[in-house]
């Protein structure tokens, strides 16, 4: 299946030259659209992450019992866009101070989260969070 925006094949495996990061910042559709506009992003996909139920349905996630967050996975070319630039878009696209909500969307699935796939990215994410908190 091809991605609607990028035309790339959608796959669970990313290409060798790309990196991935997963963001949760409210409804995944709105957040995902913000990343479509960035040069260097090669694929986005949405789903649920961080919970205890395998392959939960929308209704299960909305129940609050699965502990999942709505997320967008961003695959990007690190030679074309830096992680700090992706994080800037993430922090500016939502209000993490709202807790378990974003605007009218209320529930633990709308919390602010970042899941890293590369441990080397942890310091960049934590520094970014600190800078935007200030």
- In 10-121, which residue ranges form alpha helices assigned H by DSSP? 28-36, 58-62, 83-93
Buried/exposed 53-66: b ≥16 CB within 10 Å, e otherwise: eeebeeeebeeeeb
> Of the residues 5, 27, 42, 124, which is catalytic?
27
Q: Give yes or no: 27 in active site.
A: yes
Name the strand (E) or helix (H) holding 22. strand 19-25
Based on its alpha-carbon atoms, the radius of gyration of the chain, rounded to whole angstroms, reads 14
Catalytic residue numbers, as ranges: 27
């Amino acid at each position: 299946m091809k991605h609607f925006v990028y035309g790339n094949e959608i796959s669970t495996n990313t290409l060798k030259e790309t990196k991935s990061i997963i963001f949760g910042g409210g409804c995944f559709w709105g957040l995902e659209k913000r990343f479509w506009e960035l040069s260097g992003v090669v694929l986005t996909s949405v789903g649920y992450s961080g919970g205890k139920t395998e392959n939960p349905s929308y209704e299960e996630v909305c129940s609050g019992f699965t502990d999942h967050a709505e997320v967008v996975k961003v695959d990007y070319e690190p030679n074309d866009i830096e992680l700090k630039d992706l994080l800037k878009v993430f922090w500016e696209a939502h209000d993490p101070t709202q807790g378990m909500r974003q605007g009218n969307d209320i529930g633990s699935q709308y919390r602010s989260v970042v899941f890293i796939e590369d441990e080397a990215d942890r310091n960049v994410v934590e520094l970014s969070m600190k800078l935007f908190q200030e």
